Structure 1
Amino acid sequence: MGLLLLAGATEGVGLMLLLPILRLGSSRTSPQDAVSKFLSEHLQMLGLPLSLSTLLVLMVAVIACRSLIEWCRDIMAADVQLRFVAALRQRTMAAVAGASWHYLGSQSHAYLHAILCRDVEALRQSAVQSLQLAVQGILLMTNVVVAIMISPILTVAAVAIGLILALVARNLVRRAQASGRQFERHQRSIQRETADFVNGLKLVKSMSAEGKHVDAFNVSSAGLHQATRRHKTAGATVRAMLQLSAAIAVSVLVMMAQGGNLLAFPEMILLALVFARMVPILRDMYHGLQTIANSLPAYAEIEAVTAQCTLHAEAKPNCVAAIVLRHQLQLQDVTYRYSPAAPNAIDGINVVIEAGSMVALVGESGAGKTTLADMILGLLQPDSGCMTVDGIPITGESVHAWRRSVAYVPQDSFFLNASIRENLTWTAQSVTDATLLAALEQAQALDFVSRRPGGLDALIGDHGRQLSGGERQRLALARALLRQPSVLVLDEPASALDPANARAVYRAIENLRGTMTIVMIVHDLAKVRNADQVLVLERGRLVEHGAPQDAAPASDHPQPACNGFLA
Structure 2
Amino acid sequence: MRLMLNLFRAYPLASFLMLVALLLSGLAEGLGLSALLPVLKVALYHNQPGSGPQEPPGELELMVLELLDWLGIPPTLGPLLLLIVVASTFKALLLLLAQRQVGYTAAQLATDLRLDVLRHMMRSRWAFFLHQPVGKLTNTMASEAQRASDAYVNGATAITFLIQSLVYAGVAVAVSWQAALASLLAGVLIIGGSHFLVRMTRRAGRRQTQLMISLMSRLTDTLQSVKPLKAMAREDLADRVLNLETNKLNKALRRQVFSAAALNSAQDLMFTAFIALGVYLALEQFSMGLATVMVLVVALGRAFSFLGKVQKQYQKLMQGESAYWSLLDTIDQARRAEESLGGGTEPVLHQGIRFEQVGFAYDGHEVFSRLDLEIPVHSITTLIGPSGSGKTTIIDLVIGLLRPDSGRVRVDGTLLEQFDLREWRRQIGYVPQETVLLHDSILHNVSLGDPQIDEAQVVQALQDAGAWDFVQALPEGMHTQVGERGGRLSGGQRQRIAIARALINRPQLLILDEATSALDPASEQAIVATLRELRQRLTILAISHNPALAEAADRVYRLAPRGRVELQA
What's the Cα RMSD here? 2.3
- Pair 1:432–1:271, CA change in 2 (3 A): closer
- Pair 1:147–1:397, CA change in 2 (3 A): farther
Q: Deviations over 1:380-402 (max 9, x none)?
A: 22233332211222227621111
- Pair 1:333–1:256, CA change in 2 (3 A): farther
- Pair 1:269–1:338, CA change in 2 (3 A): farther
Q: Deviations over 1:429-483 (max 9, x none)?
A: 5445444333323323223212221111100012211111111111111221222
Q: Is the 8 A contact 1:360 1:519 kept in 2?
A: yes
Q: 1:192-203 counterparts in 2 under 5 A?
A: 192-203=217-228
- Pair 1:40–1:253, CA change in 2 (3 A): closer
The one of 285, 295, 298 equivalent to 2:320 is 295
Q: 1:146-545 counterparts in 2 under 5 A?
A: 146-261=171-286, 263-315=288-340, 323-339=347-363, 342-395=364-417, 398-426=420-448, 430-525=452-547, 527-539=549-561, 541=563, 543-545=564-566
Q: Distance in 1 between matches of 2:209 and 2:80?
A: 53
> What SS does the corresponding residue of 2:401 show, helix, strand or coil?
coil
- Pair 1:46–1:173, CA change in 2 (3 A): closer
Q: 1:64-143 counterparts in 2 under 5 A?
A: 64-143=89-168
Shift of 1:180: 1.1
Q: Distance in 1 between matches of 2:223 and 2:247?
A: 20
Q: Is the 8 A contact 1:98 1:316 kept in 2?
A: no
Match of 2:51 in 1: none
* TM-score (norm: length of structure 2): 0.90
Q: Distance in 1 between matches of 2:63 and 2:287?
A: 22
- Pair 1:544–1:419, CA change in 2 (3 A): same
> What SS does the corresponding residue of 2:365 show, helix, strand or coil?
coil
Q: Distance in 2 between matches of 1:427 and 1:78?
A: 30
Stretch deviating more after TM superposition (61-70 or 449-458): 61-70
Q: Is the 8 A contact 1:411 1:491 kept in 2?
A: yes
Q: Distance in 2 between matches of 1:503 and 1:425?
A: 26
Match of 1:562 in 2: none
Q: Is the 8 A contact 2:345 2:420 kept in 1?
A: no
Shift of 1:266: 1.4
Q: Is the 8 A contact 1:407 1:481 kept in 2?
A: yes
Match of 1:17 in 2: 35
Q: Is the 8 A contact 1:179 1:294 kept in 2?
A: yes
Shift of 1:490: 0.6
- Pair 1:294–1:39, CA change in 2 (3 A): closer
Q: Distance in 2 between matches of 1:507 and 1:495?
A: 16
Q: Distance in 1 between matches of 2:355 and 2:499?
A: 26
> What SS does the corresponding residue of 1:509 show, helix, strand or coil?
helix
Q: Distance in 2 between matches of 1:11 and 1:296?
A: 31
Q: Distance in 1 between matches of 2:457 and 2:297?
A: 79
Name the aligned partner's letter for residue 378 of structure 1: G
Q: Distance in 2 between matches of 1:260 and 1:428?
A: 79
Q: Is the 8 A contact 1:332 1:349 kept in 2?
A: yes
Match of 2:568 in 1: 547
* TM-score (norm: length of structure 1): 0.90
Stretch deviating more after TM superposition (245-254 or 151-160): 151-160
Shift of 1:250: 0.9
Shift of 1:214: 2.1
Identity over aligned pairs, percent = 27
> What SS does the corresponding residue of 1:386 show, helix, strand or coil?
strand
- Pair 1:545–1:516, CA change in 2 (3 A): farther
- Pair 1:455–1:241, CA change in 2 (3 A): same
Q: Distance in 1 between matches of 2:136 and 2:72?
A: 70
- Pair 1:43–1:141, CA change in 2 (3 A): closer
- Pair 1:192–1:440, CA change in 2 (3 A): same
- Pair 1:333–1:289, CA change in 2 (3 A): farther
Segments of structure 2 that go 5 or more residues without pairing to the other structure are 1-18, 47-53
Q: Is the 8 A contact 1:533 1:545 kept in 2?
A: no
Q: Distance in 2 between matches of 1:170 and 1:337?
A: 53
The one of 53, 58, 65 equivalent to 1:40 is 65
Match of 1:7 in 2: 25
Segments of structure 1 that go 5 or more residues without pairing to the other structure are 549-567
Q: Is the 8 A contact 1:88 1:120 kept in 2?
A: yes
Q: Is the 8 A contact 1:493 1:505 kept in 2?
A: no
- Is 1:145 the counterpart of 2:170 in the alignment? yes
Q: Distance in 2 between matches of 1:214 and 1:385?
A: 49
Stretch deviating more after TM superposition (357-366 or 509-518): 509-518
Shift of 1:10: 1.2
